[in-house]
Structure formats: C-alpha cells, structure tokens
C-alpha cells in the first residue's frame, strides 16, 4: 500500500514527519505516530483540528459542517486534519507548539565522513547516518542543532544537502575561537556527532513562480539544498541566485553553484564581494545587483538567508523602491546562533 510523507510544522519551530497511508486521515496517521494533534470531536464538527496545508494535494470529503470549516477557509488552504486524506506528500502548519501535541525534537546519531576547509573561510562538514538508519527527513532550507562534543553546547546549521540522502552536509563559517570551529579543527572521520531537529520555517515552498534567491556568506547553505531538490525535480521555472560575501576568500563553493546552470534549464547566478579592495568584477552589496526586470514583471517568490544587516537592507530596498514580491521568506543568522525569523 502506498503512503505519503506529511511534514507537521509546529509553531515553536519543530518539524515532525509522519507517514500517512493511502485513504488514511492525517489525524489518524499522527495518532499512530504518537503525535496528539489538536482534536475534540474527530467528526468534522468542532473545528478544533483546523490547520493550514502549505503544500500538497488532498481531499476533505463532505462529512464536516460549515461551522467547522467554511468554503472560504478551505479555499485559503485551511483543513480539518480529522477529514483530510492526502493524495501526495504534504506540508501542514499546526497552530500550536509541539509540546502541546506531546511530541518534540528528535535526536539523530551521525559520524564524521569528511571535513573540508575552503579558503580558510568556511568548512564543509559531511556526516554519515548510523548504519541501517532511515534517511533524515527535513524540508530544504531547514536546520538542525549540532552538539559540540565535550562542551555542553550546540550550534545551529542549515542543511546544504538534499533531504533523503544518506550523507548529509553543512557549510559552516570558520570563526577564530569559535566553539564549533575549534572542534572541527581537530575532527577526524569516525568522530560522533548528535543532531537535533529539524527546525525552521525557512524552507522551499511549492514552486509555481520564478524564484529569486539571496544568499549572504554561509547563508548559501540552504540554497544548495533547495537547488538540488529543484534539479532532481526537473524544475523549469526561472531561478536567479545572488551570492554576496564580504571578502574574496568568503566566496566558496562557486563551482557547486555553477554546476546547477547545466542541471536547471533556467538557472542563473551572480556573485558580489563587498570589500572595496577586491578584484572581483562585481563589488558592493546584493541590493546593487537586483534583477529589476524580474522583480517588476515576474513578481517572484523571494528567499533570503544572510546576516541581519543584509536582511534589513533588502527589506528597506524593497520598501524604498516599491518592490512587492509574490512572497518573501527570509532567515537572519549570526555567526553562532540563527535568529529564527521568517515572513
């Protein structure tokens, strides 16, 4: 019997994945996974189990009353999980915390496969899952917390690899004196690392319009995950990435980005370096290289991941120039801890 993968995004940032059998209601699949989604009647009468379907196809049937879910609400993507029968993978936003649903974070054991330094600016960390463990489920763009062995601390990093791969990857900025940077300097293949997650509301939504991706420094990581998913899915949408960094040596993994120009029919990218002493052909800020035609005529979905000043600058640029993207998703991060903010 076929089944569908359902991502449940809780309001505290935790994401849990469940398998929903063909013909099975989401509420029943969640209970089977020991996740107590909000409910009272389970008959489509009270509306307590109302959530929002972010993506996917499904059937709501006719066995619910108007007071529980109006036609306008259903048209806007609201669903009753006690009546919702998926016919594809879905993403559902649950308007309560994971703790209310008696679930929470998941922890995964991994081992270091490889640590690769890039320009003394960043590190690519490749991790293997435990033998026989299922592939790690997450939405492209999300992050996990990685425990730093022997410190009692953790650091948050976005996946740069695609969901479902047996080896997972992260692009990590090197910080002199940093907790994770110090550990990675001595790390070797076979070392153990525990991951907790996934987390985050910054992830790739269903692609129905052109995409503008804005990456600042190691904020490139989630876009590598997104681009891989888009390439594997054969996306034909127009996609443009602007990758901005502070110094020349911060411009890493350009070859990985370049490779997607061959795999995605309508993908292009621009690199920008802020340092005035740089020899790079494009100096300045991401906002100076915005594709005006794309923004004005295509009204793309915009995704932005970078440090707070970059996020603020882009938002101010949009406001000052009357730019209204179809949608705008962003995540701010500091070198050590991401500020989990999206809109």
CATH number for position 22 = 3.10.20.30
Torsion angle, CA of 127/130/135/139, rounded to 10 degrees?
Answer: -50
Torsion angle, CA of 203/140/295/309, rounded to 10 degrees?
Answer: 60
Asked, for residue 204, whether it belongs to a domain, the answer is no
Burial of 118 from C-beta contacts in 10 A (0-12 / 13-18 / 19+)? middle
The span from the CA of 66 to the CA of 44, in Å, is 9
- The stretch 140-145 carries a mean pLDDT of 95
CATH number for position 127 = 2.40.30.10
One domain for residues 183 and 124 = yes
One domain for residues 230 and 334 = yes
* Structural domain containing residue 232: 211-339
Residue 300 near residue 211, CB atoms below 8 Å: yes
Phi, psi (rounded to 5 degrees) for 187? -65, 150
* Total structural domains within the chain: 3
* Residue where one domain finishes, among candidates 36, 69, 94: 94
CATH number for position 298 = 3.40.50.80
- The stretch 317-322 carries a mean pLDDT of 94
One domain for residues 174 and 111 = yes
One domain for residues 217 and 329 = yes
- The stretch 48-67 carries a mean pLDDT of 94
One domain for residues 13 and 56 = yes
What's the mean per-residue pLDDT of the chain?
Answer: 93
How large a percentage of the chain has pLDDT more than 70?
97
pTM of the model: 0.88
Does the pLDDT of residue 342 top 60, yes or no?
A: no
Does the pLDDT of residue 166 top 90, yes or no?
A: no
The pLDDT score that the predictor gives to residue 337 is 45
* Residue where one domain finishes, among candidates 29, 64, 94: 94
Asked, for residue 148, whether it belongs to a domain, the answer is yes
Q: Is the dihedral of CA 90, 79, 104, 97 positive or negative?
A: positive
Note the pLDDT tens digit of each residue in 79-100. 999 999 999 999 999 999 998 8
Note the pLDDT tens digit of each residue in 275-318. 999 999 999 999 999 999 999 899 999 999 999 999 999 999 99
Peptide bond into 198 cis (omega under 30): yes
Asked, for residue 129, whether it belongs to a domain, the answer is yes
Note the pLDDT tens digit of each residue in 93-128. 999 999 889 898 889 999 999 999 998 899 999 999
The pLDDT score that the predictor gives to residue 334 is 65
**Kind of pairing between the strands at 15-21 and 338-339:** unpaired
Residue 234 near residue 261, CB atoms below 8 Å: no
Asked, for residue 44, whether it belongs to a domain, the answer is yes
- The stretch 182-203 carries a mean pLDDT of 95
Does the pLDDT of residue 343 top 60, yes or no?
A: no
The pLDDT score that the predictor gives to residue 1 is 60
One domain for residues 181 and 235 = no
Note the pLDDT tens digit of each residue in 17-39. 999 999 999 999 999 999 999 99
One domain for residues 334 and 218 = yes
The pLDDT score that the predictor gives to residue 335 is 58
- The stretch 245-270 carries a mean pLDDT of 97
Asked, for residue 43, whether it belongs to a domain, the answer is yes
The span from the CA of 245 to the CA of 40, in Å, is 51
One domain for residues 162 and 121 = yes
Asked, for residue 100, whether it belongs to a domain, the answer is no
The pLDDT score that the predictor gives to residue 71 is 93
Strand partners, 85: 59
DSSP classification of residue 83: T
Does the pLDDT of residue 258 top 70, yes or no?
A: yes
Q: Helix, strand or coil for residue 193? A: strand
Does the pLDDT of residue 341 top 60, yes or no?
A: no
One domain for residues 320 and 240 = yes
The pLDDT score that the predictor gives to residue 133 is 86
- Confidence band for 273, pLDDT divided at 50, 70 and 90: very high
Does the pLDDT of residue 160 top 60, yes or no?
A: yes
- The stretch 178-200 carries a mean pLDDT of 95
**Kind of pairing between the strands at 50-55 and 78-80:** antiparallel
One domain for residues 217 and 332 = yes
* Residue where one domain finishes, among candidates 149, 178, 199: 199
One domain for residues 20 and 80 = yes
Asked, for residue 330, whether it belongs to a domain, the answer is yes
One domain for residues 88 and 189 = no
The pLDDT score that the predictor gives to residue 333 is 73
The pLDDT score that the predictor gives to residue 339 is 40
Asked, for residue 125, whether it belongs to a domain, the answer is yes
């Amino acid at each position: 019997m076929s089944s569908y993968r359902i991502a449940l995004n809780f309001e505290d940032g935790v994401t849990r994945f469940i398998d929903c059998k063909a013909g099975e209601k989401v509420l029943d699949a969640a209970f089977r996974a020991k996740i107590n989604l909000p409910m009272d009647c389970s008959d489509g009468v009270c509306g307590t189990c109302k959530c929002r379907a972010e993506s996917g196809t499904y059937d709501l049937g006719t066995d619910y009353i108007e007071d529980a879910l109006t036609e306008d609400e259903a048209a806007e993507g609201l669903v009753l999980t006690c009546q919702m029968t998926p016919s594809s993978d879905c993403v559902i936003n649950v308007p309560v915390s994971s703790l209310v649903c008696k679930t929470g974070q998941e922890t995964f054991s991994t081992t270091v496969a490889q640590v690769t330094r890039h320009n003394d600016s960043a590190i690519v960390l490749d991790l293997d899952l435990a033998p026989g463990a299922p592939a790690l489920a997450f939405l492209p763009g999300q992050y996990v917390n990685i425990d730093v062995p022997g410190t009692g601390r953790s650091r948050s990093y976005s996946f740069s690899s695609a969901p479902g791969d047996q080896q997972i990857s992260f692009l990590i900025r090197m910080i002199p004196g940093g907790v994770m940077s110090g550990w990675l300097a001595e790390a070797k293949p076979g070392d153990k690392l525990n991951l907790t997650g996934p987390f985050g509301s910054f992830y790739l939504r269903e692609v129905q319009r052109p995409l503008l991706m804005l990456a600042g420094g190691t904020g490139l990581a989630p876009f590598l995950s997104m681009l891989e998913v888009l390439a594997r899915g054969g996306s034909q949408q127009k996609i443009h990435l602007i990758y901005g960094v502070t110094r020349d040596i911060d411009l890493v993994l350009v070859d990985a980005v370049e490779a997607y120009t061959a795999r995605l029919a309508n993908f292009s990218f621009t690199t920008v370096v802020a340092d005035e002493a740089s020899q790079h052909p494009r100096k300045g800020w991401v906002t100076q290289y915005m594709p005006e035609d794309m923004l004005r005529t295509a009204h793309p979905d915009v995704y932005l991941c970078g440090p707070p000043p970059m996020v603020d600058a882009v938002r101010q640029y949009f406001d000052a120039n009357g730019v209204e993207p179809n949608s705008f998703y962003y995540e701010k991060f500091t070198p050590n801890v991401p500020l989990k903010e999206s809109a």
